[in-house]
Amino acid sequence: MNGARRRVVAVPHAAVAAAKRAAARAAATRAGRAVVVFQERQLPDAAAALTYYAMLALVPGLLVVVSALSLVGEATAEQLVARVRELAPGPAADLLDRTLGDLRSAPVGAGITAAVAVGAAVWSASSYVEAFRRAATRAAGLADGGEPVLRAAVARLLRTLVLALLLALAALLVALTGDVARALGRLLGASDAVLTAWSFARWALLAAVTVATVTYLYGTAGVLGGSLLRPSRGALVAVAVWLAASVAFSLYVSGPASYGRTYGALAGIVVFLVWLWLSNVALLFGVAYEATGGTLRAARQRPTAGA
């Protein structure tokens, strides 16, 4: 009786273990196929092109974010600069610190600056959104079904505005810490326990906003399903790859093989460009990963030539 009972109990554990091993093998196989797809469709080159468009959109985009945070409070903008300095990889932190400092010290008032810059920022960012749509279509191996020019331009601008709001929310979460969080807590009458809980909760919220931003970016490209509340696996993989690549690259540039020795005064620019490229690699790898699972949007299941 006891032996029989032990066998009955052991079977489910063995089945669960076998299922976990099978799932791990399937995930590894799918990731391997995604790497092959990533290389065959020349996505590293596409990521380099996206890096160019990202650089064009960066400064006007930062100007809008800093101006908007300055409207909330000057201390909030200062916290954003401080957090970026801590999180950016190696010499890129100095470059971003100087850029954000110059933007904050601009002589024009924050409200006027934001109003003037928002048009340039949205237009530059919309160029990145369009470039990403083309790259994601290639990554997915789908045909690029065009839309009427005017309709496509209006839709692209509206989608870019939504992405800008998501990025501004992420920047606000990064900035709401330290003195800013304590001042806001006192204003709202929050206790020390609430502030302590917030210091942990904001990282979870930041992760959720990051995944939502990637999911929406994939949606603007029209190649993946999912929603802000139910992201695709490709979006989750992209964020995980981006985090791992960012940490690894940050450790690399701060190690003995310093970029400063090779590039001198240009080290900050080079490090930041490489990090931007790695970020776009992660985004396109997420699309390639999704393409290996047969979960692309059925409406666009027309393979491209040579895909």
Q: Annotate 184-203 with DSSP letters as a single string.
A: HHHHHT--HHHHHHHHHHHH
Query: In terms of residues, how long is the chain?
Result: 307
- Confirm whether pTM is higher than 0.75: yes
Asked if residue 44 lies in contact with residue 274, where contact means CB atoms within 8 angstroms, the answer is no
Q: Which two tokens stand for residue 96?
A: 């971003």
How far does Cα 45 stand from its chain's mean position? 19
Q: Looking at this protein, which amino acid is placed at residue 27?
A: A
Task: Determine the Cα–Cα distance for residues 296 and 232; give it in Å rounded to an integer.
Answer: 10
- The answer on pLDDT for 299 being more than 50 is no
Which one has a higher pLDDT value, 285 or 202?
A: 285
**What 8-state DSSP symbol labels residue 91?**
T
Handedness of CA 108, 110, 115, 121 (dihedral sign): positive
Mean pLDDT within 29-37: 87
Asked if residue 91 lies in contact with residue 271, where contact means CB atoms within 8 angstroms, the answer is yes
Condensed to tens digits (0 to 9), the pLDDT of residues 272-288 reads 899 999 999 999 999 99
- The answer on pLDDT for 305 being more than 50 is no
Number of neighbours of residue 109 by Cβ within 10 angstroms: 12
Which one has a higher pLDDT value, 146 or 170?
A: 170
pLDDT of res. 10: 45
